[in-house]
Protein backbone atom coordinates (compact mmCIF):
# COMPACT_ATOMS: atom_id res chain seq x y z
CA UNK A 1 0.00 0.00 0.00
CA UNK A 2 1.34 3.45 -0.86
CA UNK A 3 2.03 5.91 1.94
CA UNK A 4 -0.69 8.47 2.64
CA UNK A 5 0.95 11.86 1.98
CA UNK A 6 -2.07 14.24 1.94
CA UNK A 7 -1.50 14.86 -1.79
CA UNK A 8 -3.99 14.08 -4.52
CA UNK A 9 -2.52 11.70 -7.09
CA UNK A 10 -3.57 10.40 -10.48
CA UNK A 11 -4.70 6.78 -10.57
CA UNK A 12 -5.82 4.20 -13.09
CA UNK A 13 -8.50 1.80 -11.91
CA UNK A 14 -8.96 -1.47 -13.81
CA UNK A 15 -12.23 -3.43 -13.69
CA UNK A 16 -13.08 -6.91 -14.99
CA UNK A 17 -16.40 -6.85 -16.86
CA UNK A 18 -18.40 -9.97 -17.72
CA UNK A 19 -19.72 -10.82 -21.17
CA UNK A 20 -23.19 -9.46 -20.41
CA UNK A 21 -21.77 -5.92 -20.53
CA UNK A 22 -20.25 -6.31 -24.02
CA UNK A 23 -23.13 -4.44 -25.74
CA UNK A 24 -22.57 -1.44 -23.43
CA UNK A 25 -18.84 -0.91 -24.11
CA UNK A 26 -19.43 2.11 -26.33
CA UNK A 27 -21.78 3.68 -23.77
CA UNK A 28 -19.28 3.11 -20.93
CA UNK A 29 -16.53 4.67 -23.01
CA UNK A 30 -18.56 7.73 -23.99
CA UNK A 31 -20.27 8.42 -20.66
CA UNK A 32 -17.73 7.24 -18.07
CA UNK A 33 -14.56 7.49 -20.20
CA UNK A 34 -13.69 3.84 -19.59
CA UNK A 35 -11.06 2.64 -22.05
CA UNK A 36 -10.94 -0.97 -23.20
CA UNK A 37 -7.58 -0.75 -24.99
CA UNK A 38 -4.75 -2.66 -23.31
CA UNK A 39 -2.16 -0.21 -21.98
CA UNK A 40 0.22 -3.02 -21.02
CA UNK A 41 -1.17 -3.46 -17.50
CA UNK A 42 -4.13 -5.72 -18.30
CA UNK A 43 -1.96 -8.81 -17.69
CA UNK A 44 -1.62 -7.84 -14.00
CA UNK A 45 -5.25 -8.70 -13.25
CA UNK A 46 -6.81 -12.14 -13.50
CA UNK A 47 -10.00 -12.59 -15.45
CA UNK A 48 -12.31 -15.36 -16.54
CA UNK A 49 -12.73 -16.52 -20.11
CA UNK A 50 -15.02 -14.25 -22.19
CA UNK A 51 -14.65 -11.40 -19.68
CA UNK A 52 -12.90 -8.17 -20.64
CA UNK A 53 -11.02 -5.38 -18.87
CA UNK A 54 -11.72 -1.66 -18.78
CA UNK A 55 -9.67 1.13 -17.21
CA UNK A 56 -10.85 4.42 -15.74
CA UNK A 57 -8.68 7.38 -14.71
CA UNK A 58 -9.41 9.28 -11.51
CA UNK A 59 -7.79 11.51 -8.88
CA UNK A 60 -7.67 10.58 -5.20
CA UNK A 61 -5.57 10.64 -2.04
CA UNK A 62 -4.77 6.91 -2.06
CA UNK A 63 -5.46 3.59 -3.77
CA UNK A 64 -8.55 2.81 -1.71
CA UNK A 65 -10.12 6.20 -2.34
CA UNK A 66 -9.38 5.84 -6.05
CA UNK A 67 -11.21 2.51 -6.19
CA UNK A 68 -14.12 3.96 -4.24
CA UNK A 69 -14.43 7.02 -6.52
CA UNK A 70 -14.21 4.97 -9.70
CA UNK A 71 -16.72 2.38 -8.56
CA UNK A 72 -19.12 5.06 -7.30
CA UNK A 73 -19.28 6.50 -10.81
CA UNK A 74 -19.76 3.05 -12.31
CA UNK A 75 -22.31 1.93 -9.72
CA UNK A 76 -24.95 4.42 -10.89
CA UNK A 77 -24.85 2.85 -14.35
CA UNK A 78 -24.93 -0.70 -12.93
CA UNK A 79 -27.87 0.08 -10.64
CA UNK A 80 -30.08 1.20 -13.51
CA UNK A 81 -28.82 -1.56 -15.78
CA UNK A 82 -30.05 -4.10 -13.21
CA UNK A 83 -33.56 -2.70 -13.56
CA UNK A 84 -33.51 -2.91 -17.36
CA UNK A 85 -32.01 -6.41 -17.40
CA UNK A 86 -34.50 -7.42 -14.67
CA UNK A 87 -31.99 -9.56 -12.78
CA UNK A 88 -29.21 -9.11 -10.24
CA UNK A 89 -26.59 -11.37 -11.81
CA UNK A 90 -23.11 -9.97 -11.23
CA UNK A 91 -21.67 -8.21 -14.29
CA UNK A 92 -18.38 -7.09 -12.76
CA UNK A 93 -15.48 -8.93 -11.08
CA UNK A 94 -15.08 -8.83 -7.31
CA UNK A 95 -11.51 -7.49 -7.47
CA UNK A 96 -9.88 -4.72 -9.46
CA UNK A 97 -6.41 -3.25 -10.00
CA UNK A 98 -5.40 0.26 -8.91
CA UNK A 99 -2.16 1.82 -10.22
CA UNK A 100 -0.74 5.18 -9.15
CA UNK A 101 0.47 6.80 -12.35
CA UNK A 102 3.56 8.60 -11.04
CA UNK A 103 5.04 5.53 -9.34
CA UNK A 104 3.39 2.76 -11.39
CA UNK A 105 2.81 0.86 -8.14
CA UNK A 106 -0.24 -1.39 -8.35
CA UNK A 107 -2.46 -3.13 -5.83
CA UNK A 108 -5.36 -5.56 -6.17
CA UNK A 109 -8.38 -4.35 -4.20
CA UNK A 110 -12.00 -5.46 -3.74
CA UNK A 111 -14.26 -3.46 -6.04
CA UNK A 112 -16.79 -2.99 -3.25
CA UNK A 113 -15.85 -2.07 0.30
CA UNK A 114 -16.21 -4.86 2.82
CA UNK A 115 -19.74 -5.07 4.15
CA UNK A 116 -21.23 -7.84 6.29
CA UNK A 117 -20.71 -11.34 5.01
CA UNK A 118 -23.39 -13.54 3.54
CA UNK A 119 -23.50 -16.67 5.65
CA UNK A 120 -23.01 -19.64 3.35
CA UNK A 121 -25.48 -22.44 4.13
CA UNK A 122 -24.29 -26.02 4.42
CA UNK A 123 -25.05 -28.03 1.24
CA UNK A 124 -28.12 -30.18 1.81
CA UNK A 125 -29.59 -32.80 -0.50
CA UNK A 126 -33.19 -31.74 0.08
CA UNK A 127 -32.51 -27.99 -0.07
CA UNK A 128 -34.69 -27.38 -3.17
CA UNK A 129 -37.63 -29.20 -1.62
CA UNK A 130 -37.22 -27.33 1.67
CA UNK A 131 -37.01 -23.90 0.06
CA UNK A 132 -40.14 -24.64 -1.99
CA UNK A 133 -41.96 -25.72 1.18
CA UNK A 134 -40.88 -22.60 3.05
CA UNK A 135 -41.71 -20.10 0.31
CA UNK A 136 -45.07 -21.63 -0.58
CA UNK A 137 -45.97 -22.19 3.08
CA UNK A 138 -45.24 -18.58 4.00
CA UNK A 139 -47.22 -17.29 1.02
CA UNK A 140 -50.29 -19.12 2.31
CA UNK A 141 -50.29 -17.03 5.50
CA UNK A 142 -52.33 -13.84 5.82
CA UNK A 143 -51.37 -10.79 3.79
CA UNK A 144 -50.19 -8.88 6.88
CA UNK A 145 -47.90 -11.71 8.06
CA UNK A 146 -46.45 -12.27 4.59
CA UNK A 147 -45.87 -8.52 4.18
CA UNK A 148 -44.13 -8.33 7.58
CA UNK A 149 -41.91 -11.29 6.73
CA UNK A 150 -41.06 -9.74 3.36
CA UNK A 151 -40.04 -6.51 5.07
CA UNK A 152 -37.72 -8.39 7.44
CA UNK A 153 -36.09 -10.24 4.54
CA UNK A 154 -35.74 -7.01 2.51
CA UNK A 155 -33.99 -5.26 5.42
CA UNK A 156 -31.64 -8.23 5.80
CA UNK A 157 -30.80 -8.25 2.08
CA UNK A 158 -30.35 -4.46 2.02
CA UNK A 159 -27.80 -4.81 4.83
CA UNK A 160 -25.76 -7.34 2.83
CA UNK A 161 -25.79 -5.09 -0.24
CA UNK A 162 -24.83 -1.99 1.76
CA UNK A 163 -21.12 -1.09 1.81
CA UNK A 164 -21.43 1.43 4.65
CA UNK A 165 -21.16 -0.65 7.83
CA UNK A 166 -23.19 1.80 9.92
CA UNK A 167 -26.11 1.78 7.47
CA UNK A 168 -25.92 -2.00 7.18
CA UNK A 169 -25.96 -2.30 10.98
CA UNK A 170 -29.09 -0.13 11.19
CA UNK A 171 -30.84 -2.29 8.57
CA UNK A 172 -30.06 -5.44 10.54
CA UNK A 173 -31.30 -3.91 13.79
CA UNK A 174 -34.47 -2.70 12.04
CA UNK A 175 -35.07 -6.29 10.87
CA UNK A 176 -35.08 -7.42 14.52
CA UNK A 177 -37.48 -4.63 15.48
CA UNK A 178 -39.89 -5.38 12.63
CA UNK A 179 -39.86 -9.05 13.66
CA UNK A 180 -40.33 -8.60 17.38
CA UNK A 181 -42.07 -5.30 18.22
CA UNK A 182 -45.72 -6.35 18.54
CA UNK A 183 -46.65 -4.91 21.96
CA UNK A 184 -46.99 -1.11 22.04
CA UNK A 185 -46.95 -1.11 25.86
CA UNK A 186 -43.31 -2.19 25.88
CA UNK A 187 -40.24 -0.30 24.71
CA UNK A 188 -38.65 -1.54 21.49
CA UNK A 189 -35.60 -2.95 23.24
CA UNK A 190 -37.82 -4.84 25.72
CA UNK A 191 -39.77 -6.39 22.85
CA UNK A 192 -36.56 -7.31 21.04
CA UNK A 193 -34.97 -8.94 24.08
CA UNK A 194 -38.16 -10.76 25.16
CA UNK A 195 -38.83 -12.27 21.74
CA UNK A 196 -35.40 -12.69 20.20
CA UNK A 197 -33.75 -14.18 23.29
CA UNK A 198 -36.45 -16.86 23.46
CA UNK A 199 -35.75 -17.88 19.85
CA UNK A 200 -32.00 -18.03 20.48
CA UNK A 201 -32.41 -19.98 23.73
CA UNK A 202 -34.61 -22.54 22.00
CA UNK A 203 -31.91 -23.00 19.34
CA UNK A 204 -29.05 -23.17 21.87
CA UNK A 205 -28.59 -26.93 22.22
CA UNK A 206 -29.21 -27.58 18.52
CA UNK A 207 -26.38 -25.15 17.72
CA UNK A 208 -24.09 -26.75 20.32
CA UNK A 209 -24.57 -30.29 18.99
CA UNK A 210 -24.41 -29.11 15.35
CA UNK A 211 -21.06 -27.43 15.99
CA UNK A 212 -19.65 -30.59 17.57
CA UNK A 213 -20.92 -32.64 14.62
CA UNK A 214 -19.29 -30.20 12.18
CA UNK A 215 -16.01 -30.30 14.14
CA UNK A 216 -15.97 -34.09 13.98
CA UNK A 217 -16.68 -34.17 10.23
CA UNK A 218 -14.13 -31.47 9.44
CA UNK A 219 -11.37 -33.19 11.41
CA UNK A 220 -12.11 -36.93 11.18
CA UNK A 221 -13.88 -36.99 7.82
CA UNK A 222 -17.43 -37.97 6.89
CA UNK A 223 -16.73 -41.72 6.68
CA UNK A 224 -15.44 -42.04 10.25
CA UNK A 225 -18.28 -39.93 11.61
CA UNK A 226 -20.83 -42.05 9.71
CA UNK A 227 -19.39 -45.17 11.35
CA UNK A 228 -19.70 -43.51 14.76
CA UNK A 229 -23.31 -42.47 14.19
CA UNK A 230 -24.25 -45.89 12.82
CA UNK A 231 -23.62 -47.38 16.27
CA UNK A 232 -26.01 -44.93 18.00
CA UNK A 233 -29.31 -46.74 17.44
CA UNK A 234 -31.81 -44.80 19.58
CA UNK A 235 -32.32 -41.90 17.15
CA UNK A 236 -32.75 -41.22 13.43
CA UNK A 237 -31.31 -37.71 13.14
CA UNK A 238 -27.54 -37.14 13.19
CA UNK A 239 -27.76 -34.32 15.71
CA UNK A 240 -29.72 -36.54 18.16
CA UNK A 241 -27.20 -39.35 17.68
CA UNK A 242 -24.34 -37.03 18.65
CA UNK A 243 -26.25 -35.99 21.78
CA UNK A 244 -26.83 -39.67 22.57
CA UNK A 245 -23.13 -40.42 22.16
CA UNK A 246 -22.31 -37.61 24.62
CA UNK A 247 -24.90 -38.32 27.32
CA UNK A 248 -26.24 -41.87 27.34
CA UNK A 249 -24.78 -44.23 29.94
CA UNK A 250 -24.76 -47.26 27.62
CA UNK A 251 -22.08 -45.58 25.46
CA UNK A 252 -19.67 -44.96 28.38
CA UNK A 253 -17.05 -47.47 27.18
CA UNK A 254 -17.51 -46.38 23.57
CA UNK A 255 -16.82 -42.74 24.57
CA UNK A 256 -13.68 -43.67 26.50
CA UNK A 257 -12.28 -45.66 23.56
CA UNK A 258 -13.18 -42.89 21.10
CA UNK A 259 -11.46 -40.27 23.25
CA UNK A 260 -8.33 -42.43 23.56
CA UNK A 261 -8.11 -43.33 19.87
CA UNK A 262 -9.99 -41.22 17.30
CA UNK A 263 -9.92 -37.96 19.33
CA UNK A 264 -6.44 -38.44 20.77
CA UNK A 265 -5.03 -35.44 18.88
CA UNK A 266 -8.11 -33.20 19.09
CA UNK A 267 -8.14 -31.65 22.59
CA UNK A 268 -10.61 -28.89 21.66
CA UNK A 269 -13.26 -31.37 20.52
CA UNK A 270 -12.68 -33.55 23.59
CA UNK A 271 -13.08 -30.48 25.80
CA UNK A 272 -16.39 -29.48 24.17
CA UNK A 273 -17.79 -32.99 24.54
CA UNK A 274 -16.54 -33.43 28.10
CA UNK A 275 -18.08 -30.11 29.22
CA UNK A 276 -21.50 -31.43 28.23
CA UNK A 277 -20.78 -34.97 29.41
CA UNK A 278 -20.19 -33.65 32.94
CA UNK A 279 -23.85 -32.56 33.11
CA UNK A 280 -25.20 -36.03 32.25
CA UNK A 281 -26.30 -36.84 35.81
CA UNK A 282 -28.03 -33.52 36.43
CA UNK A 283 -30.55 -32.29 33.87
CA UNK A 284 -31.07 -29.05 35.78
CA UNK A 285 -27.38 -28.16 35.40
CA UNK A 286 -27.65 -28.84 31.69
CA UNK A 287 -30.67 -26.54 31.35
CA UNK A 288 -28.84 -23.91 33.38
CA UNK A 289 -26.29 -23.65 30.54
CA UNK A 290 -29.02 -22.26 28.27
CA UNK A 291 -30.13 -19.78 30.95
CA UNK A 292 -26.58 -18.45 31.33
CA UNK A 293 -26.46 -18.15 27.53
CA UNK A 294 -29.70 -16.12 27.63
CA UNK A 295 -28.21 -13.65 30.08
CA UNK A 296 -25.17 -13.13 27.85
CA UNK A 297 -27.36 -12.62 24.78
CA UNK A 298 -29.55 -10.09 26.59
CA UNK A 299 -26.49 -8.08 27.68
CA UNK A 300 -25.16 -8.25 24.13
CA UNK A 301 -28.44 -7.04 22.60
CA UNK A 302 -28.43 -4.04 24.95
CA UNK A 303 -24.88 -3.28 23.85
CA UNK A 304 -25.92 -3.47 20.19
CA UNK A 305 -28.91 -1.23 20.95
CA UNK A 306 -26.63 1.42 22.49
CA UNK A 307 -24.52 1.31 19.34
CA UNK A 308 -27.67 1.66 17.23
CA UNK A 309 -28.63 4.79 19.22
CA UNK A 310 -25.13 6.24 18.92
CA UNK A 311 -25.28 5.88 15.12
CA UNK A 312 -28.81 7.30 14.81
CA UNK A 313 -28.64 10.18 17.29
CA UNK A 314 -24.98 11.20 17.28
CA UNK A 315 -23.65 9.85 13.98
CA UNK A 316 -21.04 7.91 15.93
CA UNK A 317 -19.56 4.60 14.86
CA UNK A 318 -17.49 2.00 16.72
CA UNK A 319 -14.01 0.70 16.03
CA UNK A 320 -15.39 -2.86 16.17
CA UNK A 321 -18.49 -2.16 14.07
CA UNK A 322 -17.59 -5.01 11.68
CA UNK A 323 -17.40 -7.61 14.47
CA UNK A 324 -20.51 -6.35 16.28
CA UNK A 325 -22.42 -6.23 13.01
CA UNK A 326 -21.48 -9.84 12.23
CA UNK A 327 -22.85 -10.92 15.62
CA UNK A 328 -26.08 -9.02 14.95
CA UNK A 329 -26.20 -10.60 11.49
CA UNK A 330 -26.07 -14.10 13.03
CA UNK A 331 -28.97 -13.25 15.36
CA UNK A 332 -31.05 -11.91 12.46
CA UNK A 333 -30.37 -14.97 10.31
CA UNK A 334 -31.39 -17.36 13.07
CA UNK A 335 -34.59 -15.43 13.79
CA UNK A 336 -35.56 -15.24 10.10
CA UNK A 337 -34.96 -18.96 9.63
CA UNK A 338 -37.01 -19.80 12.72
CA UNK A 339 -39.92 -17.62 11.57
CA UNK A 340 -39.93 -18.99 8.03
CA UNK A 341 -39.67 -22.65 9.01
CA UNK A 342 -42.35 -22.46 11.71
CA UNK A 343 -44.79 -20.41 9.64
CA UNK A 344 -44.34 -22.71 6.65
CA UNK A 345 -44.48 -26.07 8.40
CA UNK A 346 -47.18 -25.56 11.04
CA UNK A 347 -50.61 -24.48 9.83
CA UNK A 348 -51.65 -23.71 13.42
CA UNK A 349 -49.19 -20.79 13.46
CA UNK A 350 -50.68 -17.95 11.43
CA UNK A 351 -48.70 -14.89 12.53
CA UNK A 352 -45.20 -14.00 13.68
CA UNK A 353 -46.58 -13.44 17.19
CA UNK A 354 -47.91 -17.03 17.08
CA UNK A 355 -44.34 -18.21 16.49
CA UNK A 356 -43.06 -16.33 19.54
CA UNK A 357 -45.94 -17.68 21.66
CA UNK A 358 -45.19 -21.23 20.50
CA UNK A 359 -41.54 -20.71 21.46
CA UNK A 360 -42.46 -19.39 24.94
CA UNK A 361 -44.69 -22.41 25.59
CA UNK A 362 -42.02 -24.81 24.35
CA UNK A 363 -39.34 -23.24 26.56
CA UNK A 364 -41.62 -23.51 29.60
CA UNK A 365 -42.23 -27.17 28.79
CA UNK A 366 -38.49 -27.82 28.48
CA UNK A 367 -37.72 -25.92 31.67
CA UNK A 368 -40.37 -27.78 33.69
CA UNK A 369 -39.19 -31.21 32.55
CA UNK A 370 -35.44 -30.63 32.60
CA UNK A 371 -35.43 -29.03 36.04
CA UNK A 372 -36.66 -32.28 37.55
CA UNK A 373 -33.88 -34.41 39.08
CA UNK A 374 -32.49 -37.24 36.99
CA UNK A 375 -30.00 -38.29 34.34
CA UNK A 376 -30.06 -37.05 30.75
CA UNK A 377 -31.91 -39.85 28.95
CA UNK A 378 -33.41 -40.39 25.49
CA UNK A 379 -36.55 -38.39 26.32
CA UNK A 380 -34.44 -35.49 27.61
CA UNK A 381 -32.44 -35.39 24.38
CA UNK A 382 -35.58 -35.43 22.23
CA UNK A 383 -37.05 -32.61 24.33
CA UNK A 384 -33.87 -30.51 24.15
CA UNK A 385 -34.00 -30.65 20.35
CA UNK A 386 -37.77 -30.27 19.98
CA UNK A 387 -38.75 -27.25 17.90
CA UNK A 388 -42.57 -27.04 18.06
CA UNK A 389 -44.88 -26.84 21.06
CA UNK A 390 -48.03 -27.01 18.93
CA UNK A 391 -47.89 -30.06 16.67
CA UNK A 392 -50.25 -30.35 13.72
* 84-104 mean pLDDT: 78
CA 176 – CA 293 distance, rounded (Å): 19
Element (H, E) at 78: helix 63-85
> What digits encode the pLDDT tens for the residues 161-209?
777 889 999 999 999 999 987 767 788 899 999 999 999 999 999 999 9
At residue 126 the predicted structure's pLDDT band, cuts being 50, 70 and 90, is very low
Could you tell me if 246 and 276 are in contact, meaning their C-beta atoms sit under 8 angstroms apart? yes
* 277-302 mean pLDDT: 91
Mean pLDDT of the chain: 83
At residue 293 the predicted structure's pLDDT band, cuts being 50, 70 and 90, is very high
Phi then psi for residue 364, to 5 deg, are: -65, -40
pLDDT at 351 over 80: yes
CA dihedral 93, 95, 97, 100 (to 10 degrees): 130
Task: State the sign of the Cα–Cα–Cα–Cα dihedral 230, 233, 235, 236.
Answer: positive
* 77-91 mean pLDDT: 63
Phi then psi for residue 56, to 5 deg, are: -125, 135
More confident residue, 201 or 31: 201
Could you tell me if 168 and 321 are in contact, meaning their C-beta atoms sit under 8 angstroms apart? no
Element (H, E) at 57: strand 52-60
Amino acid sequence: MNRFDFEIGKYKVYFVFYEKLKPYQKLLNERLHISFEDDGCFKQIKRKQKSFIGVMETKAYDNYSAMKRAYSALEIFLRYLEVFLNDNISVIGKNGLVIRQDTQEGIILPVKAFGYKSIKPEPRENFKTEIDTIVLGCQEKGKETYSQLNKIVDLHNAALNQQDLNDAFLNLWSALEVASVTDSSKSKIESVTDNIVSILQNDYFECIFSNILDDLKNNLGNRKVSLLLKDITEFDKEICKIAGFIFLEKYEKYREDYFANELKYYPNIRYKIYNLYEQRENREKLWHLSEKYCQRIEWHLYRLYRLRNAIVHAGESHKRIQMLGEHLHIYVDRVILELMVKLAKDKCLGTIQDVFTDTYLLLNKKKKNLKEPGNVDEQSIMLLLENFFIEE
